[in-house]
């Protein structure tokens, strides 16, 4: 269920502080009336606009960074550090969860050749949201959500289904299926990423998405991915320093 959104112009100073220029953000209301949210985050570019909206709406949010799918480890670290940087800027709590990559490979075994948005991605979302729901249960959150569905590369229904399944494991817990792309969210996601000069990843995260994106690029006459060199709003100054492994 999506929460209702009021075009309420209240708390302008807070909104101004966490909004892109000249944008009056709508105030969000949680679907269960809770003023607390445990938000699974995949990366800073996807998370920042959502984090801004939640701060402006006075919903006390804790970021839960659990992404053992991201490969290799240095790619995981750079994505995580960018998210920590923005959480600190907003004064938002940040939980740095496990990088239990072996469990992720075990969970997706046999799905190595699934296409993106296929069965492997369902396993991947399930794993990350189940752990998010576990943490929510342990720490008294009744509401969870994720930043994953703001990306136009993702299947929103697939993500929402995984989120609802994870939350349903605990009575009284709900997964918030808010469409973060709406009302300019997808556009502001890019604007904020440029303003903050976030690291710009070029593949979803796992070793298989890196393989498949490189394969697609080669078939379409494009260069392979060069990791760790692209940042929103910046020129790629040292094109040789990244790796595409
Ligand atoms: S493509 Fe992305 S969502 Fe799918 S399994 Fe890989 S990391 Fe997970």
Q: Is 132 in the pocket of ligand 1 (CB under 6 A)?
A: no
Q: Look at ligand 1, atom 3, and give the residue with the nearest C-alpha.
A: 121
- Identify the pLDDT of residue 235: 81
- Token pair of 7 as six digits: 């075009």
Residues (pLDDT < 70) of the chain are 1-25, 237-245
Which mutation among 130, 208, 212 tests ligand 1's pocket best, with the greatest number of atoms within 8 A of CB? 208
- Identify the pLDDT of residue 26: 78
Cβ atoms 200, 206 nearer than 8 A? no
Give 29-79 pLDDT, tens digit per residue: 999 999 999 999 999 999 999 999 999 999 999 999 999 999 999 999 999
Phi, psi of 11 (to 5 degrees): 50, 55
Q: Is 116 in the pocket of ligand 1 (CB under 6 A)?
A: yes
Q: Is 126 in the pocket of ligand 1 (CB under 6 A)?
A: no
- Identify the pLDDT of residue 178: 96
What's the CA-to-centroid distance between 205 and ligand 1, angstroms? Answer: 6
Nearest 5°: the CA angle 153, 54, 155 is 20
Q: Is 68 in the pocket of ligand 1 (CB under 6 A)?
A: no
What's the CA-to-centroid distance between 65 and ligand 1, angstroms? Answer: 15
Domains of the chain (ranges; CATH) run 33-219 (3.40.50.620)
User: What is the value of pTM for the model shown?
Assistant: 0.89
Cβ atoms 37, 74 nearer than 8 A? no
Q: Is 135 in the pocket of ligand 1 (CB under 6 A)?
A: no
Nearest atom, ligand 1, residue 116 CA = 1
What's the CA-to-centroid distance between 211 and ligand 1, angstroms? Answer: 12
- Identify the pLDDT of residue 183: 87
Phi/psi class of residue 22: alpha, beta or left (left: φ > 0; alpha: ψ in -120 to 50)? left
Q: Around Cβ 17, how many Cβ atoms within 10 Å?
A: 12
Tell me the C-alpha distance between 200 and 127, whole Å: 24
- Identify the pLDDT of residue 15: 47
Nearest atom, ligand 1, residue 212 CA = 1
- Identify the pLDDT of residue 22: 55
Q: Is 188 in the pocket of ligand 1 (CB under 6 A)?
A: no
- Identify the pLDDT of residue 19: 52
Tell me the C-alpha distance between 173 and 137, whole Å: 8
């Amino acid at each position: 269920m999506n929460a209702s959104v009021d075009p309420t112009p209240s708390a302008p100073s807070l909104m101004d502080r966490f909004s892109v220029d000249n944008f009056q953000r709508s105030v969000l209301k949680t679907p269960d009336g809770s003023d607390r949210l445990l938000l699974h985050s995949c990366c800073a570019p996807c998370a920042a606009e959502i984090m801004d909206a939640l701060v402006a709406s006075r919903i006390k949010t804790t970021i839960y960074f659990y992404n053992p799918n991201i490969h290799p480890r240095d790619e995981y670290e750079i994505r995580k550090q960018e998210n920590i940087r923005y959480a600190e800027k907003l004064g938002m709590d940040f939980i740095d969860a496990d990088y239990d990559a072996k469990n992720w490979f075990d969970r997706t075994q046999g799905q190595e050749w699934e296409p993106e948005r296929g069965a492997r991605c369902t396993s991947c979302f399930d794993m990350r949201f189940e752990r998010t729901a576990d943490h929510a249960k342990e720490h008294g959150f009744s509401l969870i959500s994720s930043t994953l569905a703001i990306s136009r590369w993702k299947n929103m229904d697939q993500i929402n289904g995984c989120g609802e399944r994870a939350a349903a494991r605990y009575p009284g817990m709900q997964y918030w299926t808010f469409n973060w792309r709406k009302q300019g969210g997808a556009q502001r996601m890019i604007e904020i990423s440029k303003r903050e000069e976030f690291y710009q990843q070029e593949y979803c995260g796992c070793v298989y998405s890196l393989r498949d994106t490189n394969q697609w690029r080669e078939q379409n006459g494009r260069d392979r991915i060069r990791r760790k060199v692209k940042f929103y709003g910046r020129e790629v100054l040292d094109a040789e320093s990244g790796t595409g492994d």
